[in-house]
Amino acid sequence: MKSYKRKISLENYTSSWEDFFLKEKLEIEQYLKKHYNEFYVEHVGSTSVEGLKAKPIIDIALGIPRNIFEDYRTFADVLGGIGYCEMPNTKIIIPNRNVFCVIRKSIRYHLHSCIYNDKDWLEMIYVRNFLRENPDYKKQYVQSKVEAIKNYPFFPLLYNKAKGEQYKLIKKAAFLYYEK
């Protein structure tokens, strides 16, 4: 298992995460409008949920039509035009998403592209909204993250696996809640 020299950090929620997202969203939209007619950009992940501790990484969901998603090479080249680089190993963990990364002024962004309104898109949106609306689940998720980081401060994959069981419970509850 690969260890990192830099310790994983969880930070308390800050409204600046939303500000960073909005600025990046604007840049993404202005650029992608030159290439595509249809796409959807949402702030997802822990930094999108007020009161949730998070690694300081701004996760962005980019919903796109199937034909764009399936033309991966062209799409990756287009995103490269605004500095995004592929994170190819994420395909092993999240097979129905293409994940890209960029760092701007020491802020790290992960862009999760997937087919709009497909299961992966809905998962990101449902989980975000569910955590925003359900403080008990949010509290349990924070506890699982704190415990995971205590046990695996230098091992991102083990940290993700350790908090993953709680995430699965939240995902299941979110789908039941929104698809009733």
Residue 4 lies inside a defined structural domain of this protein: no
Euclidean distance between CA atoms 56 and 152, whole angstroms: 17
What is the number of structural domains in the chain? 1
Residue 89: predicted pLDDT: 75
- Answer yes or no: is 5 within a domain: no
Q: What's the pLDDT at 180?
A: 80
Amino acid residing at 84: Y
Query: What type of residue sits at position 115?
Result: I
In a domain, 91, yes or no: yes
User: Is 132 domain-assigned?
Assistant: yes
pLDDT of residue 4: 54
> What's the confidence (pLDDT) of residue 116?
97
Q: Is residue 156 part of a domain?
A: yes
Structural domain includes residue 1: no
Residue 135 belongs to domain with CATH number: 3.30.460.10
CA 83 to chain centre: 18
Domain that residue 34 falls in: 16-178
Q: Output the CA–CA distances (angstroms, integers) from residue 128 to 23, 85, 91, 170, in the order listed.
A: 20, 25, 21, 10
Q: What is the pLDDT of residue 95?
A: 79
In a domain, 119, yes or no: yes
With the C-alpha atoms ordered 54, 56, 57, 59, is the resulting torsion angle positive or negative? positive
Contact present, 45 and 82 (Cβ < 8 Å):
no
Alpha carbons 38 and 15: distance in angstroms, whole number:
28
Residue-by-residue pLDDT tens, the chain, 180 positions: 555 567 899 999 999 999 999 999 999 999 999 999 999 999 999 999 999 999 999 999 999 999 999 999 999 999 999 999 999 777 767 778 999 999 999 999 999 999 999 999 999 999 999 999 999 999 999 999 999 999 999 888 899 999 999 999 999 999 999 998
Specify if 96 maps to a domain.
Answer: yes
